[in-house]
A and B are shown apart, each in its own frame.
Chain A
């Protein structure tokens, strides 16, 4: 009746169970249910639930919309590359373009305010990774993902790319300010 031999009985499914097994199965099953219901629970009571609001888009269409917001709310530029710093009003729609190998623009947000952040990629897949907060969202070309974010601490954050996107992947890093 070892595991590499056939079961010792033809009617092996009639063998009564040991209490160790029964007890463990019941405990494990209960824990599985707790873990399962934790997810819907957090959708009701938690504050961190990734939105599913998504639209199909094209790189051109998304870049155009993003540029309009950049033109409207740019307050200054940074670095030699003159990356625009955008300070939108609370509750505004803000856009973040992921492309090889940069994030545009730099966002300047306010603590406690909620923004509708639109994410899309111009070329390959990218990974939005907000540090040191460690919030990570996949960014796909052709999809415009709208995520409502509410910064809860002031500071200078970094947005790094954490989806491999080619040789310059490690240079794809930007800033985000919360005031």
Chain B
């Protein structure tokens, strides 16, 4: 069976692509970028509408576009790309054939039909219900059906990933354990299966409700189960982009994990605890007990936060060690200064890592603290946080990976290298300012998903402080900068596929080679057991921790001044 399969070895990277998997990876990544483009254009209109001085579109259009933006970005862009990452991390990294490629195409078709169906329904104006579609806010049945089809397609993708791991094991295409990056992808896949199951449990009855077969869906039950889908889908992203960070550190620097045990243990903590965080969304809800909230919102005593803090150290730590081994050993930070800052694969990944940690991570813990949630819930702080995690974290990590994939997977030279070089900075730093300003506005109480915070036409309007309007104007400008950065990405990637110089793809044949374990002389990570191998990273980690602790207690201080609530 395996003998009839066609493979090629990329002459530049040595990666081995299975012909069927290659086509699927390309298709999923391409559709992902199309949704990113649509979502980005919507983002532009949304930012220019929230900017009160411009206030571009009317309320109904604004809410409709916001619904589409949320779905196209949070669901369709990231999940299409993640399916590509899953296929890459299994078939390509393990040098094996992809399990049941025909079924994978069925999954792809379902995802495509579902996502198009959702977009059509939303743009017809039938389902302005936001990403969350909280019942009893009514959406059209085709909206929920589209989501269900998309989810089923994604689930097929997950099982094909798992099947491919089985194939690789059975056909002995690798020695020893699966690579760390594949293990990270496996984590993402396990979380995805849980996520999609939760989505099915709530979206199927909601679909039947919208179609008129069920009379009532309890809003609190909906929120509880929907968030097991809605928040967990973002945990897929976290696992996937951490895997991508490790991959990029390995690709650009040849970095080894500081310790396989620690990094894999941290991924295991994700599998065990990351899902509990959907409780973050229910902290200001009625009807749930304090014990339930505290246990779940803290991922059972913050063990998934611990995992993220570990990855946050080990990824740059691995880079530092690799750089020090190349001779960049002066001082604490020569390894940073001598990093390839002009290579978008690296710079994007590094900005992604820092933005995710400092902006997304810290703010996420604030919102996820039971009592602090009261001064944050549903304000602009919330989108400020998740743009730092999903846009700076996930999206930018995926963008960086694309610059690596264009020559090796698509066999094209990246066009406009000057533009590509600047793209992660424009996008990443634009988004960072965007997130900070959004969180600032949220701290001043500005609500999310709101067309007009001057409350024009209301009987009893409220006037937000001038600082809030300034924050909103700032995030709108920063948002426009980020959209430009996103446009640069789409231009470079799509342009490279169309006009990039064709590169040697290697020859397809049925010959394959086994993925050998690297030859290492002794059982040590980097020859420095019991040393202090990454002092620069450790210092940065301590700076991070200091910022974290200070900001955490500043928020408690702020909470202590508001009205008594009991």
Contact of A160 among B318, B447, B531 (CB under 8 A): B447
Mark A26-44 against chain B: 1 for CB-CB distance below 8 A, else 0.
0111011101101110110
Instruction: Please pick, from A28, A32, A158, A169, the residue contacting B451 in the complex, using a CB distance under 8 A.
Output: A169
What count of chain B residues pass the 8 Å CB interface test? 119
Q: Which residue of B lies closest to A9 (CB)?
A: B523
- Known contacts A39-B370, A39-B371, A164-B130; decide if A21 and B317 are in contact (CB<8 Å): yes
Check B458 against A35 for contact (C-beta < 8 Å).
no
Task: Please name the residue on chain A nearest to B183 by beta carbon.
Answer: A3
> Is there an interface contact between B301 and A33, defined as CB atoms closer than 8 Å?
yes
The reply to whether B548 and A5 contact each other, CB–CB distance below 8 Å, is no
Partner among B175, B524, B560, B562 whose Cβ is within 8 Å of the Cβ of A16: B524
Minimum CB–CB distance from A36 to chain B (whole Å) comes to: 5
Whether the pair B259, A32 counts as a contact (CB closer than 8 A) is no
How far does the alpha carbon of A20 sit from the alpha carbon of B309 in the complex, in Å?
Answer: 13
Closest-by-CB residue of A relative to B266 is: A25
Partner of B136, one of A28, A43, A119, A141: A141
Q: How far is the CB of B9 from chain A (nearest CB, A)?
A: 15
Q: For chain B residues 519-566, which have a beta carbon within 8 Å of chain A?
A: 519-520, 523-526, 528-535, 537-538, 541, 545, 548-549, 552, 556, 559-560, 562-566
Taking a contact as CB atoms under 8 Å apart, the answer to whether A152 and B462 are in contact is no
Contacting A at CB under 8 A, from B489-525, are 515, 517-520, 523-525
CB-based contact B462/A160 at 8 Å:
yes
Instruction: Taking A143-B286, A148-B566, A162-B379 as given, write out 16 further A-B residue pairs in contact, using a Cβ cutoff of 8 Å, ordered by the A residue number.
Output: A5-B517, A18-B531, A21-B262, A35-B298, A39-B370, A46-B559, A48-B565, A52-B287, A129-B445, A131-B462, A134-B562, A145-B287, A149-B564, A162-B378, A171-B455, A171-B457
Most buried by B among A14, A50, A54: A50
Stretch with Cβ within 8 A of A (4 or more), from B186-194, B250-258, B330-338: B250-258
A68 within 8 A of B: no
Is B284 a contact of A78 with CB atoms below 8 Å? Answer: no
Q: At the interface, is chain A mostly helix, strand, loop or mixed?
A: mixed
Across-interface contacts of B128 in A (CB, < 8 A): 166
Which among B254, B286, B318, B371 has the greatest number of chain A C-beta atoms within 10 A?
A: B286
A83 in the interface, Cβ–Cβ < 8 Å? yes
Bound form: Cα–Cα A163–B233 in Å: 21
B154–chain A nearest beta-carbon distance, Å: 24
Q: Which residues on the A side are within 8 Å of B310 (C-beta)?
A: 21, 24-25, 28
Stretch in B39-47, B288-296, B411-419 with 4+ CB within 8 Å of A: B288-296
Are A5 and B518 closer than 8 Å at their CB atoms? yes
Q: Is the CB of B533 within 8 A of A138?
A: no
A175 to B134, CA, bound (A): 26
State A42–B287 Cα separation when bound (angstroms): 20
Number of interface residues of A (CB under 8 A): 96
Please state if A7 and B177 are interface contacts (CB–CB under 8 Å).
Answer: yes
Cβ–Cβ < 8 Å partners of B220 in chain A: 140, 142-143
Distance in angstroms between the alpha carbons of A137 and B294 in the assembled complex: 17
Query: Which residues in window 124-172 of A have CB below 8 A to B?
Result: 124-125, 127, 129-138, 140-145, 147-152, 158, 160-167, 169-172
Q: Which of B137, B254, B548 interacts with A31 by CB under 8 Å?
A: B548
Does B325 have its Cβ within 8 Å of any Cβ on chain A?
A: no
A134 surroundings in chain B (CB, below 8 A): 375, 379, 443-445, 562
Interface set of B (CB-CB < 8 Å, partner A): 59-60, 63, 93, 128, 130, 134, 136-137, 174-181, 218-220, 223, 246-247, 249-251, 254-263, 283-290, 294, 298, 301-303, 305-306, 309-310, 313-314, 317-318, 365, 369-371, 374-379, 443-445, 447-453, 455-462, 464-465, 515, 517-520, 523-526, 528-535, 537-538, 541, 545, 548-549, 552, 556, 559-560, 562-566
B538 pairs with A24, CB closer than 8 A: yes
Residues of B within 8 A of A54 (CB): 286-287
Residues from chain B with a CB closer than 8 A to the CB of A46 are 371, 559-560
Of the candidates B256, B545, B564, the one whose C-beta lies within 8 Å of that of A3 is: B256
The answer to whether B520 touches A136 (Cβ under 8 A) is no
Tell me the bound Cα distance from A40 to B263 in angstroms.
31
Question: Would you call B287 and A20 a contact (CB within 8 A)?
Answer: no
Q: Is A1 touching B256 in the complex (CB atoms < 8 A)?
A: yes
- A23 pairs with B255, CB closer than 8 A: no
Counting CB contacts under 8 A, is A79 at the interface? yes
The answer to whether A137 touches B377, judged by C-beta atoms less than 8 angstroms apart, is: yes
11 contacts across the A-B interface (CB closer than 8 A): A1-B256, A3-B180, A3-B181, A4-B180, A4-B181, A16-B529, A18-B528, A28-B545, A138-B285, A162-B449, A173-B460
What's the Cα separation between A152 and B565 when bound, in Å? 11
Tell me, rounded to whole Å, the shortest Cβ–Cβ distance linking B470 to chain A.
Answer: 15
